[in-house]
Structure 1
Amino acid sequence: MGVVYHANYLVWMEIGRTGLIKDLGFSYAELEAEGIVSPVLDIQISYKKPLRYGETAIIKTWISEYDGFRSIYEYEILTPNGELAVSSRSTHVCVKKDSFRPISFRRAYPKWHEAYLAAKVKVVE
C-alpha cells in the first residue's frame, strides 16, 4: 500500500518513551537489570494520516498522568511536514519481573518519582 504498517507506530511509541526517560536522566535498561519491568496496561491509538515509506517520523512524548504507581504517556507522531499522523497514549505500571507484583515507584525510585512529577504534562521532544 506504500504506507507504514500500523504496528510500527507502537515501536515508535516505545522509542519516544525510552527517549523521554533518557532525557530525564534515567535508563529503562538499568531498571530492567534491577529486576523491574513496566508492562503496558492499555494503549489507545488514533490514526490520522499515514506516513509513507521513506518518510522520517517525528515523535513527541510526554507524561500526562503519574501517581507514583501508574504512568500515562501521550504521543504525537508527525509527518516530516509536521502534520499529525497519530495521536496515542499508553498506560504502564512498574512490577517486579519475577513476581509481576506492582511496586511503588515513589518509594523504590524516589529520584525517578520526583523527575516524573516535575515532567508531568510538559512536552519533551
Structure 2
Amino acid sequence: MYKDKKIHSHSIRVRYAETDQMGVVHHGNYPTFLEEARTAWLREMGISYKKMEASGIGLPITSVSVKYKKSALYDDVLTIKTILSKIPNVRLEFDYEIYNEAEELLVTAKTELVFINMQTKRPMKAPDYFLEVLENWKNKEF
C-alpha cells in the first residue's frame, strides 16, 4: 500500500496507566500515541516542533480518524508506522499503522493538521524550510 512512501517506525511500551481494568489500552490513548510517533517523524526529518512554534508557526490537528482492529495490552511494545500521505501545502496529512510484537495490525489511523500563523490564528502555507526538508527527504533513510 505504501511501497513508494517513506515509513518512519517508532516504538512505545504500553504503560499501566494507559490501560483499563482489563489491561487493554483505553481508546482515548491512541491519539497520544499518534502524536508521539508524528513528532518523532518530524524530529527524524530534522524538523523541531519546538523551534517551529517559537518562530510563530503552529500545527493544530483538524481531524483524527482511528480504526481499532485488535486490542493493545499492558506492557506490549507497539510499533507505530507513520506515513506522510502527500507533500503538504496548507494541510499536513499522515497515515498510521500500529502493530504489536507479534506484528499483528492493531490500529489504522489518519490525522490532518493545518499550518497556522500563531499570531493571527489563520491558516498559512507550509514554511519553505519544511518543504525543502521534504524535497531532500527522498534520499533519507529511516
Q: Which runs of 5+ in 1 are unaligned?
A: none
2:5 alignment counterpart: none
Q: Distance in 1 between matches of 2:101 and 2:65?
A: 23
Query: Moved runs in structure 1, 4+ residues, more than 2 A?
Result: 114-120
By how many angstroms is 1:77 displaced? 1.0
The C-alpha deviation readout for 1:33-89, integer Å capped at 9, x for no partner, is: 112111111111100111011111111101012332111011111111111111001
Match status 1:92 vs 2:113? yes
Q: Is the 8 A contact 2:31 2:64 kept in 1?
A: no
Residue 25 of structure 1 aligns to a residue in which SS?
A: coil
2:6 alignment counterpart: none
Q: Which runs of 5+ in 2 are unaligned?
A: 1-21
Q: Is the 8 A contact 1:51 1:85 kept in 2?
A: yes
2:25 alignment counterpart: 4
1:110 alignment counterpart: 128
The CA RMSD measured in Å over matched residues stands at 1.8
Q: Distance in 2 between matches of 1:61 and 1:68?
A: 19
1:59 alignment counterpart: 80
Q: Distance in 1 between matches of 2:82 and 2:56?
A: 25
Give % identity. 32
For normalisation by structure 1, the TM-score amounts to 0.86
For normalisation by structure 2, the TM-score amounts to 0.76
1:29 alignment counterpart: 50
By how many angstroms is 1:4 displaced? 0.6
2:41 alignment counterpart: 20
